[in-house]
Every structure is written in C-alpha cells, then in structure tokens.
Structure 1
C-alpha cells in the first residue's frame, strides 16, 4: 500500500493486473461449506466464489482494514444456491457483492441467493449487486442485517448488459455517512442505478466491454422490493436510470429515512460512477430522489430531518421523469 490518507491508503501504481492476492478463491466448486472462521487484514478480495453451487457460509468474521481499497468481504460471482448467514464483515470495499464477471461468462447467471443475520461495515457499499454484470442476477433475499458506519448501505449498481430482477431486502437498519471521493458513494442508504459503463481507459471502464465493442450497454433492473428498513444517514434514497425503461417496479414499503449532517464532507451530490454520463451529479438532498424510471411505489414510508440541516437539504421526495409514481 502507498501513503496513508485520511480515510484510505493510496494505491501503488501497477501495469495491468493488481498484484495483491485474494485470500480464498473457489472456482466451479459444489457442496461448499465455510463455517466459523475468522480472516483479518486481507489486502484484496477475501472470499471469492466463481461458478459455485450449493454453498453455505455461516458464522464467519472478515475484519479488514477499512482504509484498504478493494478489500471486499464475500464476492458471489456466477454462482447459484448460496446461503450466507450470521457473519460479521468489516471491509474497505463491498462487504457482500453479487456479480457476473465477463471473464467467467461460461458459468451462467447468479441466482437463488439468501443472506441473513449479518453485521456489516463498509467504506464503499455494504451490500452491492453489480457493477459487473454481463448475465442475470435474480431471486435474491437479504434479511435481518444491520449496516453501520458505511458510505453506502444497499446498492444495485448495474453498468453492463446483464439484468437484475426479483430481489427482496427486508428488516434492516442502515447507518450511513459521507467519506472522501476515493470511495464510490455519497452516503445513500439505498441506491439503485442503471447506466452504461464509462468509456475511459481505467480498470472499471472500457476493458470490461464485450469483445470488440467500443461502447457498453446496460440491462434492466426490475421487481426490487425494500420493506421494513430504517435508514439514518447524511443522504437519502437514490434511484436513477439512463432512460425510463431501465428501472421498473421498485417498491419501498415501510422505509423510514432520517437525514442529518454529521461530517464535514461536502454534500448535495449523487454518485453515479462508473457511468458513461457525469459521475458526480449535484442536486438537493431528498429523502427519496427518483430520476428516470418506470413504476415506483412508495407506501407507509417517512422522511425526517435532524437538527443539522444545510442549505442543500431539500424536499422529502423529488422526482424527474418517473412514468408512474405511486405514493401512499
């Protein structure tokens, strides 16, 4: 690692492949059981499952240095029938991430995943779906999790042509706050975006396009349910797509959002990296911010504001070009 910064370590330059080792990578495995182990201070991804099936991970503690970038907790990649429960994960990057990486396309979609009873802390996104998704991620349940001191709570970040569908998040407490721009996210407790991948030459951009393609495309996010979730952060819920047809049937039921300014980092910004469009977007902080989507349902929800309310804090709900918004 390079120099120690305020909330991260600088990365040393490398040519093509990051030389930091993964702790545990399993490829094309079946009937896998990982129980009651502790892993600390991973330099890069900690547990990476590729093309695996019938997996149970329980009672695992993954405690990484929160300043180490890319120190993911558990990455579920093109895998099926995975159950994760009773884990404690502290990570400088995503704690639990579902994805479909292009280099493992032969393993097919990621599906039938359950996560329950986990404690999560992240400098990036505690629970993430994407951004790498060239296939389909579907039939996923997250239940009874607590997210604390995180830059982003729940994130569905579609940047490739794959689809995300049939996902349920329930019975959760999310505590967020702002960190520096090193980390993706702007304290959004819940984040759903669909944008084609950026065209620049960095490692999160054009090298991840399909072979021969000069531009990426993004697939659809649909049938996503958030129920009985309590959020306390410096920002609100953010939903945004590059067009109305990319995000559809998103339901918020009994989602309570409390917003208060707790750090000195600047706000009034939404983060769409790594997107072809502008990465940082200035806008009034809203309890629910909806920007280009199909159908969104909001019922039995609330927005409250704390004592520290800067000028860029706006309305409880902001919407732009939502085809059908149901507010109950």
Structure 2
C-alpha cells in the first residue's frame, strides 16, 4: 500500500506541503491543475511546474485526480472527438513527467453531492452530510447556491465555469439514458486506453457519489455489477478502478470488502487507487461522513483494509474526506488533522496485518 495525500496547490489549500511531510508514510501528492476547465489540454510546462514544486518536498506526483471529462464526451455530442483528442494530449504530457494513475469520473453535471458541508456530529466536529429527502425535493440551482456560499476555495466538481451552464446541461441530459451513458463511456475508453497504455498510465474510474441518480441524471458506476461492466468495456490493465469505500458504501447494499475481493479475483491488478473513508448510514437514506474508525460508521474499515492486504495490494491509497476538528478552517472534507488521523488508523490496521503475515 502506497500512501498519498490530496493537495489542491498553493493559494488553493489551507494545508501546506510542509505539514503533509510530517504525516508518517506519505510518499506522494495527489494533484491536479484545478484552474483548467474540462476539455483543455494540460500543457507540459504547467505540469512540470507542479512537479518541481512538489518535488522540493521529496514527494512524487504519480497520481492525478482528476483530468475532468468534458460534458460533450459524456453526452456523445458531435464535438466530443475534439475533446477526446485534447484528453489524449494531456495523457501524453502527464506520462512524460512520470504520472502513473489518472483518477477520473463519468458523472453527468455534478461530481459529489451533499446538502450540508458542516453538519455537526455528537463530539462537536463537523462533516459532509447528505439528506436524501432534501435532495429529492430541492431544485438543483438551490443546491448550487447553498454549496457555493460555504467556501472561498474551489470545490472539485462544483467549478463555476461548469455550473453557470447548469440549465442548458440539464436540458441536454433530459433524454440521455443510462445505456446511452454506458455507450459514451465505452467510446471514450476505447479511444484513450491505448494512449494510456503507450504512456505507462492507468485510467482509474471513480464511482458515482452517491451511487444513485441525482435530480434525474443518469448514474452508472454505482455497484459491483456495474464496476465489473466498466472493466470489461476495454480489457486492459490500463482500464481500472479507483475503489472509493465512501462513495459506493453510501448504499448499504454495496458490501465494500466483498466488492474488493470479487474484483481482485475476476480482474486481478485492476484496482489501481483507493479512497478509504467511513460513512454512517441512517435508515431514511441520509448519511454523514465520520472518522475512519470502523466503530464510528457503517463500513467495516478493518475488513476493507484486510481485503486489500490479502491480495498484496501495492497500489496507491489516500484517506478520503475527513471531519473538521480542533477548530480547523479548511476546504470542506479536506482539512489536515482528521485526514492525518485517518492515515494513522489505516497504517495501524495494515501494520497489524503485516505482522500476522510474518508470523504465519
């Protein structure tokens, strides 16, 4: 297991590289060019600048999250080929500086969806919260306004340039079915996976968050069966998965350790990256993100790590969304303190499994 940490760049993150350096076992930074609109080529000079900045702290930049996919590709619009060609050029430029993994998603319009960015937990900490009934009864523009008010920092998947076209995007997706979205994903992967292979990069799709339809938009990376389907679209090691325990785990029907074990049996080596976090699921469909500790949520975090360890997982792992603790002011879900605690919890489980293996 290779531990990495997501960072949004100087001037766009409350956490510094100096602070991340003090977290035991973190070897790399998960990064992106967050100011680049979806569809634009990432220039080699821009990428090189980030590599040099991060490299000064002895971190690698082998994982990118994410090179956002233009909506034309998801919609299957006539201009999609132009944006796919741009994506290929970006893959080539990333490969030239040593990037190994591109984490991406195929969610229409919205990335992750929450109704409260700072919901208070019993211990006084706050966390990202999803209220099912509120989403079902809310106009999407109302949610956009609510989310945008809560942070002066950019929120991935909620970029202003994307959201200002919200009404026209909803109109464009009105007649797009899940099956059409599958076809468009397959078209994209058939085009880019050979380029990724040639450049030593693996594509690692992130599940939909949450794993069900939002505002009537199609969602397809939602369960074990659909994860298998996407891995079959292009039979290549470069067509892989970012296993996110919190995204898939928000649906109690998705048993995360079982999914890991089954994917490892049927598609060995295709889980390239993992996001590990816990969520507490309520009977009414609401959920809130908790500490990484198994007892604090609904996901067996110990068994998640054990399932990875059983098959000798050597891919990249990062702690996912953390709580906001100790009066930290930070980007929602991406503070320093709770993610650092999460890393130490994950290392504790992993090290215990390693010790038992050596005894066997």
Same-fold call, TM cutoff 0.5: no
* Structure with the higher fraction of residues in strand conformation: 1
Give the alignment's TM-score, normalised by structure 1.
0.33
TM-score, L = length of structure 2: 0.31
Which is bigger in relative contact order (C-alpha 8 A, separation at least 6)? 2
**Larger Rg belongs to:** 2
